[in-house]
Amino acid sequence: MTETLTTGKEKVADGNVPEPFSRKAGVFVCIKKNGRLRGCMGTIYPLTSNILAEAYRNAVCAATRDPRFPPVTLRELPDLHFTVDILTAPEPISDESFLDPKRYGVIVRSGHRSGLLLPDLEGVDSPRQQVMISLQKGGIRPDEPYTLLRFEVSRYEEEI
């Protein structure tokens, strides 16, 4: 990350990717500073050749392109905490009774709009709450027709 913030060039994961990370998957990277969100970006479906490359790409995006925050600076790096969530393939569900906000993330879709919420987030305790936040993120009114998908994640946390 230091190299990318200094040079503006993104590093590409080479062919020596450890086995659990050599497959393709969607990945979300969230950055926190002092316990507060500082950036979060990701992909539901993979855009790169492996999980490691996907995580690096999304970490750079979270640090430099999340429209909610200014780009991360080199000075901030020691204070940042990174979480990487590797997603399973989303599966359609008929209603929110198939959700558990501690276990499943949710995607809501209505036409070309969608909202996603990762699982096991502080303060999100019910499937209804999870769906309502996802609808809001997607700009979808609760009275509009929408579909639901759920997914699980493998979560990795790291301090730089």
Q: Concatenated DSSP letters for 98-155?
A: G--TTT-EEEEEETTEEEEE-SS-TT--SHHHHHHHHHHHHT--TTS--EEEEE-EEE
Question: How many secondary structure helices (H) and strands (E) does the chain include?
Answer: 3, 8
pLDDT at 137 over 90: yes
For residue 117, what are the contacts with CB-CB under 8 A and spacing of at least 6?
Answer: 105, 106, 124, 130, 133, 134, 137
Q: Which residue in 70, 59, 148 sits closest to 109, CA to CA?
A: 148
Higher pLDDT, 40 or 7: 40
Convert the pLDDT of each residue in 79-136 to its tens digit: 999 999 999 999 999 999 999 999 999 999 999 999 999 999 999 999 999 999 999 9
Average pLDDT over residues 51-72: 95
pLDDT number for residue 159: 54
Q: Which domains does the chain have, with CATH numbers?
A: 2-87 (3.30.700.20), 91-152 (3.30.1490.150)
Instruction: Find the length of the chain.
Output: 160
Q: Where are the beta strands (DSSP E) in 54-101?
A: 80-87, 91-93
pLDDT number for residue 16: 80
Average pLDDT over residues 46-70: 95
pLDDT number for residue 150: 98
Convert the pLDDT of each residue in 9-53 to its tens digit: 666 655 688 888 899 999 999 999 999 999 999 999 999 999 999
SS3 27: strand
Distance of CA 107 to the CA centre of its chain: 12
pTM over cut 0.85: yes
pLDDT number for residue 6: 55
